[in-house]
Amino acid sequence: MPLDLVEVTNSDGEVRGTSAPGYDPAAYPPFGVTVDVVIVTLDAGELKVLLVRRGEQPFAGEWAVPGGFKQPTETLDDAARRELQEETGVDAEALLVQLGAYGDPGRDPRMNVVTVAYLAVLRELGDIVPGSDAADASLHPVADVIRGRVSLAFDHERIVRDAIERIRRDLETTGLATAFVGPTFTLSELRAVYEAIWQVELDGANFRRKLVGEDGWVVATGKRSAPASEGGKPPELFRVGSAWKSGAPIRRPRRSARGLR
């Protein structure tokens, strides 16, 4: 039989949550729950992450990933969608997945705060419009964040690093690479996804052999892309095949050619 719950209110009479009868929440150290959202995209062949400039303390004026406190009446997923929309104007509702939880003591100077991080890969972000407590919002090269050229508030550099490593791993086992390209694409465009994320140079002919064939990774559309300004025969256009549902065709080289760490 479900346990009866009672509402917990603050001094203004606002409902802050529920509690079991006879249970005193004040007997335990208080802590907050936040959500942080890592949005990654490819922009002109470069891997970038969406950041906001904080408009309030702590860390006012510093860059961070979008996020904020979870409200008592919303789920974690609802909070992630709301904070992303309020701070950047970006809608990634259908694509957000949980990345992990971060709760080291001292990660937030305000109080003991546990954050649940989310990750989404977007091919197109649309208009980026800063709002809520974000003074600015824009895309930044992932390399600048990882190499410390862009300093992030809280432990957000660690969260971004974890997000990028998750993406690198998922390229080997899922169809994530196809999320970075359109409904039709050239093999060069798809190869550029792997090269940007893994920071390697892949042989074009070998890449084609692994993708084109009877395995169903890509399907030729019979069309070609628009002619390039330098002339030459336009490359073939392909669409995603059914094989991506059960794996991925390319394995990550164990030695990086360009050394993004």
- Give me the architecture of the 174-246 domain, per CATH: Orthogonal Bundle (1.10)
Residue 26 has pLDDT above 80, yes or no: no
Predicted local distance difference test score (pLDDT) of residue 30? 83
The larger pLDDT score, comparing residue 72 to residue 22, is at 72
DSSP 107-137: SSSSS-EEEEEEEEE-S--------TTEEEE
How confident is the model over 168-192, as pLDDT tens digits?
Answer: 999 999 999 999 999 999 999 999 9
Beta bridge partners of 97: 119
Q: In the chain, which residue ranges form alpha helices assigned H by DSSP?
A: 76-88, 142-146, 156-173, 187-198, 204-211
How far, in Å, CA of 35 to CA of 117, rounded? 6
Domain covering 32-169 in this structure, CATH number: 3.90.79.10
- C-alpha span between 43 and 41 (Å, rounded): 6
Residue 257: its pLDDT value, please?
A: 46
- Per-residue pLDDT of 125-157, as tens digits, reads 999 999 998 999 999 999 999 999 999 999 999
CA trace torsion 245, 250, 251, 256 (10° rounding): -130
Q: How confident is the model at residue 205 (pLDDT cuts 50, 70, 90)?
A: very high
Provide the residue type at 202 as one letter: L
pLDDT tier at 13 (50, 70, 90 boundaries)?
Answer: low
- Kindly tell me if the per-residue pLDDT of 255 is higher than 70: no
- Cis previous bond, 58, omega within 30: yes
Tell which wins on pLDDT, 193 or 226.
193
Provide the pLDDT for residue 1.
Answer: 35
CA dist 107 → 133, 163, 250 (Å): 20, 18, 37
> pLDDT tens digits for 46-105?
999 999 999 999 999 999 999 999 998 999 999 999 999 999 999 998 899 999 999 999
* Residue range(s) in the chain whose domain bears CATH number 1.10.10.10: 174-246
Interacting residues of 235 by C-beta distance below 8 A, sequence separation 6+: 186, 187, 188, 224, 225
Instruction: Count Cβ atoms below 10 Å from residue 151 Cβ, excluding itself.
Output: 13
Token pair in block for residue 35: 């959500």
pLDDT digits (tens, 9 = 90+) for 206-245: 999 999 987 889 999 999 988 766 667 889 999 999 999 9
Q: What is the mean pLDDT of the chain?
A: 90
| Distance separating alpha carbons of residues 191 and 212, to the nearest angstrom | 13
Contact 212, 221 (CB under 8 A): no
